[in-house]
Amino acid sequence: MKAPNRPFAVRLYERLARSMLPAEFYRDVGPQIVESFEALYADAARQSWFTAVGLFLRELRSIIGTGFRERRRLPRTFPGRRVRFPIWRRIAGDVRTSVRGLWRAKGLSAVVVVMIALGVSVTATVFALVDQTLLRSLPYSDAKDLVTVTVHDVRPGGGVLASSQTEIDNIAQLPGVASAVGYDVIELNLADDVGDPMRVEIVRMGSDLIRLLGIQTVLGRSFTNEEIVQRQHLALLGHHVWQQRYGSDPGILGRSVLIQAVPYTIIGVLPARFAFPTRADVWTIDGPYPNVSPQGIDRADRRYFVLARRERQNTTKVVQRQLQALAIQLAETYPATNRDVSFSVEPLHDTLTGSLRRPLYLLLGAAGFVLMIVGGNVASLLLVRGASRHKEWAVRRALGASVARIRALIVIETVTLSVAGGLLGLAGAGLFLSLVYRISPAEFPVVDTIAVDGPVILTMAGLATVMGVVIGLMPSFSAGRIVGSEILGSRGATSSRSQQRVQTAMVVGQIALATVLAVSATLLAVSFQKLTNVDPGFDRANLITIRLHNGSNGRGPVSFWRDVVDVTSDIPGVAAVAGAAFQPMEVGFGQQISIRGISSTIRPSADFMPVVGNFFLTVGVPLLEGRLFTVDDDAEAPGVAIVNASFVRRYLQGNRVLGAVIEKTISRGAWGATRSLEIVGVVGDMRNRGLAIEPEPMIAVPHEQSPFGYMRLFIRTSVDPGAVVKVVQERIWSIDPLLPVDDLQYMEDVVHQSVRQTRLMMYVAATVAVLALILSALGVLGVVSYSASQRNREMGIRMALGAMDRRVVGLIMRQGLVMALAGVLLGLMGAWATSGFLESQLFEVQATDPGTLGLVAVVLIGVTLVASYVPARRATRTDPVHVLRAES
């Protein structure tokens, strides 16, 4: 019987079958089993060894299973299919089945998909913002080694100073620092033979910032060491200038342009995405130092921000310690410039994104809330659907599906839904992002575009899947309790009490989350309202400002500005004209001062602001005391100053104000030696640090006594400012045709712009809160409708017994009211508990403001009641006869 030429696999199979199958069983059918296997194996082996191995493994499993069952005399566990399909085929089959099922319930599926899409789009938007501004590293080589060094005046009220080139050289020589570069940003005039003169933003560098950042030019080259030492007049162009002004001309290299009437040669073009420290137009090596003392470069010439690269092996902390030691050493050696000066160091990434961190994480939290509400909503909808599907599941069970398999089917269904929703949501997020970015590009300094990209898609895909699984598990548990015999019985399955409890709990949770969001959004809206109502201290209506810089025709600033005021003030429609170094909303030059005869523990400092003409009258700042500047306050006259109310409050409290003498001490760059100024007037405060911040002390000086080239022209018009712009431009060009007059701003816009971060936060929060409100209202609607339909019979009987409509409505709405009260109460507690996170984003409103909390509570309860009124009303239309007949 045993032929010697039988293959090894068959012999092995026979041995295995003999040893693993029960003896009695093997005696009965063993030879037949082996015979069949032999035939099957011969077939399989003819096809391929792969098929043969597959067969062998399958047969092995069959032996093991049969052996197990025969030994234990177990009947087949499930009447279903014994044979398993490969996992991917099972999943594909399940997905097909679930898509078919979902298609049959089109309406519900659409609602669920849209809800998930909303949740995902909000989350993806915020996540993209967080990921691309906070989490991702900066687009520079070894960006984590880049640090900013800040120079502080440690005296009280001292604030931040710029650094000098000599100081930066000292910093660069520290062992923990690889290199350090100083830079500043300024707007200057650029003229060439291409078009109108243009105002450009220029980064002036002490040495090669581009090399420090590890950036390659896309065209041409960066500076050589020799060029830097010799301070040659060379320029790198920003990509957008090269594209827009020069039409991406590859022959741009070697071309000469005039910057402030000084010729510069273009040697390279920077990459499109490069924007450090801002999205500037031109990068140059800073010109020769204006204040060179006999000992060399003046340490008092503080003009630079400092960017450094730390040595890889040193932490920021080590660098900080070395900087501290340096500060002490410099203070001893150069007391005139470095006493009371300290340094601090911080990773560049933190410097750039520090102010965004809190708002963005808050938004991420809010988005998480929305996602949770969505999850709760979808789960509760599916629970309702699940209840009506009990019969379907029972049929599946009867036909042999295991509980695990039905659960898997349900989970696959919800995953399918949430993946579909997720895809739609990602598309929505793309839309949202472009909207957010358009509203407020300036808020995101790190990248030039924020988009839905790989990491965002991956994260959201993961999130959608997890959400699908979690949501699916809930109804699947109730499915697990179903037995096949249920279909044979006549009683249709209804939802259980515990299922209703779960649903109610979820709706209460949704209302609570929506309450927290609504409270936050309302608080932000109130803040925004208060912020926009803050009096900026000047009259913004019909006021325009144009930035001008004299000097392209070599004229001094004093005569230039006299001419500007002359040519513009007699334009029809112009009511008043003046000039100032800064806008009323800008920070001026910080200046250390002392006040003669008054010694104080704090070292006074103030914003210095040279003004031309009747500046305060023009912008509408009231004179509180003394006089304004007159034409007699010229260069020959004694130095005079006008201070603001904050100055008086802080430094001259209880002292004589008019006639007090201010002395400038250490000055920034162009501000020259110590000089005394007599206070001749006091004016009202302008919000020079932004609307939300109390104004700082300010000292205005006549332009004739402190000439300054870089100024703003202010024009108050009696007509719509747009009408005079053209004439103003022409008049200024009549003085200097090479002067750019394109940077014109309406002060209305400037004030508007100053609140943009608050506005953005408010918009996003409001959108999120409204979304949350709608979603939880839908949740209430769903649950109340469902339970109303479950109580159909009860209501029918009640109405048959003569209950009024009103009573039925009340009965059903009571359920909604209870959920609303519980949810709102929980939500208010949540809002109170999380108030600390929001506090920093608010302005003149407490995070626990009772008015806001009350308002939100009323609105939420109201919305919930409306949502439960709809099904309640429907319940009264029940026909009692119909219901009772159906029951018998």
**Locate tokens 């649903």: which residue?**
503
The yes or no reply on residue 68 touching another protein (CB under 8 A) is no
Residue 31 CB, nearest approach to another protein (Å): 4
Tokens (6 digits) for 132: 């691309």
Q: Which is nearer to another protein, 33 or 172 (CB)?
A: 33
Among 249, 311, 392, 625, binds another protein (CB under 8 A): 392
Q: Which stretch binds another protein (CB under 8 A): 22-30, 634-642, 672-680, 765-773?
A: 22-30
Q: Which residues pair with 198 in a beta bridge?
A: 190
- Is residue 410 close enough to count as binding another protein by CB under 8 A? no
Q: Which is nearer to another protein, 21 or 847 (CB)?
A: 21
For strands 698-702 and 605-612, give the pairing. Answer: parallel
Question: Shortest CA distance to 467 belongs to which of 364, 360, 382, 365?
Answer: 382
- Return the exposure string of 278-289: e unless at least 16 CB atoms fall within 10 Å of the residue's CB, then b: ebbbbbbbbeeb
Contact assessment for residue 577 and residue 569, using Cβ atoms and an 8 Å cutoff: yes
The amino acid occupying position 194 is V
Span 78-137, contacts to another protein by CB under 8 A: 78-83, 85, 97, 100, 104
Nearer to another protein, 21 or 460 (CB): 21
What angle (nearest 5°) sits at the alpha carbon of residue 838, between those of residues 837 and 839? 100
Which residue is listed with tokens 């009573």?
Answer: 807
Q: How far is the CB of 410 from another protein (least distance, A)?
A: 15
d(CA 97, CA 83): 19
Torsions phi, psi of 434, nearest 5?
-65, -30
Binds another protein (CB under 8 A): choice among 9, 34, 130, 181: 34
Q: Is 387 in the site for another protein (CB under 8 A)?
A: no
Scan residues 487-526 and list those touching another protein (CB under 8 A): 487
Task: State the nearest-atom distance from the C-beta of 64 to another protein, in Å.
Answer: 9
Total residues interacting with another protein, rule: CB under 8 A: 45
Phi, psi of 184 (to 5 degrees): -140, 170
- What is the rounded distance in angstroms from the CA atom of residue 95 to the CA atom of residue 746? 59
Q: Which one of 6, 18, 40, 368 is in contact with another protein (CB under 8 A)?
A: 40
What DSSP character marks residue 493?
P
Interaction of residue 39 with another protein, rule CB under 8 A: yes
Position 61 contacts another protein (CB under 8 A): yes
Q: Which residues contact 687 (CB under 8 A, 6 or more apart)?
A: 534, 535, 536, 537, 584, 585, 693, 695
User: 43 vs 332, which CB is nearer to another protein?
Assistant: 43
Q: Which of 720, 427, 713 is nearest to 564 (CA)?
A: 713
Assess contact for 204 and 260: CB atoms under 8 A.
no
Residue range at the interface with another protein (CB under 8 A); choices 28-36, 269-277, 572-580, 841-849? 28-36
Looking at the Cβ atoms of 35 and 694, the one nearer to another protein is 35
Which range in 388-396, 520-528, 531-539, 792-800 contacts another protein by CB under 8 A? Answer: 388-396
- Interaction of residue 456 with another protein, rule CB under 8 A: no
Classify residue 98 by burial, with Cβ atoms within 10 Å: 0-12, 13-18, 19+: buried
Cα 171 from chain centroid (whole Å)? 34
Based on its alpha-carbon atoms, the radius of gyration of the chain, rounded to whole angstroms, reads 39
Handedness of CA 108, 113, 114, 115 (dihedral sign): positive
Backbone angles phi, psi at 581, to 5 degrees: -75, -25
Structure tokens at 245: 């002004």
Exactly one of 263, 400, 572, 737 binds another protein (CB under 8 A); which one?
400
Instruction: Show contacts with another protein in window 463-492 (CB under 8 A).
Output: 487
Report, in Å, the least distance between residue 103 CB and another protein. Answer: 11
Tokens linked to 218: 């896309």
In the complex, what is the shortest distance from the CB of residue 379 to another protein, in angstroms, rounded to a whole number? 24
Burial of 88 (0-12, 13-18, 19+ CB in 10 A): exposed
Smaller CB separation from another protein, 96 or 807: 96
- Tell me the C-alpha distance between 618 and 433, whole Å: 41
Shortest Å distance, C-beta 471 to another protein: 24
* Among the listed residues 391, 481, 501, 885, the single contact to another protein using CB under 8 A: 391
Interface residue with another protein among 66, 291, 569, 876 (CB under 8 A) is 66
By the rule CB under 8 A, 674 interacts with another protein: no
Stretch that binds another protein, among 393-401, 676-684, 706-714, 753-761 (CB under 8 A): 393-401
Task: Select the residue interacting with another protein from 45, 70, 760, 849 (CB under 8 A).
Answer: 70
CB of 69 to another protein, least distance (A): 7
Of positions 2, 5, 32, 850, contacts another protein by CB under 8 A: 32
**CB of residue 802 vs another protein: minimum separation in angstroms?**
34
161 binds another protein (CB under 8 A): no
Stretch that binds another protein, among 56-64, 314-322, 419-427, 841-849 (CB under 8 A): 56-64
**Tokens standing for residue 825:** 């109460």
The gap between the terminal CA atoms of the chain, to the nearest Å, is 72
Angle at Cα 451 formed by Cα 449 and Cα 457, nearest 5°?
155
Tokens 């939802």 belong to 495
- Using the rule CB under 8 A, give the single segment among 61-69, 518-526, 557-565, 623-631 that binds another protein: 61-69
Q: Quick one: which of 18, 45, 51, 69 contacts another protein (CB under 8 A)?
A: 69
What are the phi and psi torsion angles at 137 (to 5°)? -80, 155
The residue assigned the tokens 């379907």 is: 392
Interaction between residue 752 and another protein (CB under 8 A): no
Which of the ranges 75-83, 348-356, 602-610, 613-621 carries the binding residues for another protein, by CB under 8 A? 75-83
Report the interface residues with another protein, using CB under 8 A.
1, 17, 21, 25, 28-29, 31-37, 39-40, 43, 58-59, 61-63, 65-67, 69-70, 76, 78-83, 85, 97, 100, 104, 391-392, 395-396, 398-400, 487
